[in-house]
Amino acid sequence: MVGLYQRTIIVARYGGKIHIGCGCGISGSTIYAMDNISIGNNVLIGGNCKIIDNDFHPLQDDKRHPQRHEDIKKKPILIGDGCFIGANSIILKGTTIGKNCVIGAGSVVHGAFPDNVIIAGNPAKIIKENK
């Protein structure tokens, strides 16, 4: 119903690790790890989301040609149990999302967020508690 643009893609490269807990649902999204992505139990990931723990390429021009994966910045991502990630959201490297959080559709998420909050926007911020 959301209008998926792709099949679900899950990739771990250059020593990256991905853990997906029990009872999760993923709709046409990308999960790409070069460090570590940990997704808790009962997490729902809406259509066309991106969860990416790296920059894909170095930012400095002289390090992009030729590109070495050692020059790519990466930081782990942790998504707590019971979260819902709305369609077309992007979870960036170094993000920690607490348990039972809701991410509004189209959000760009970076940083640390506590349990039981609703997060939305670009850049994403807490908009209210999720009681």
Tell me if 17 sits within 8 A of 36, measured CB to CB.
yes
Rounded distance between C-alpha atoms, residue 64 and residue 107, angstroms: 28
Active-site entry in 57, 65, 69, 110: 57
**Collapsed DSSP state (helix, strand, coil) of residue 62:** helix
**Is 57 part of the annotated catalytic residue set?**
yes
Q: What is the DSSP letter of 34?
A: S
User: What are the E-state strand segments in 36-91?
Assistant: 36-39, 44-45, 50-52, 77-79, 84-85, 90-91
Strands 30-33 and 9-12: parallel
**Active-site annotation, residues:** 57
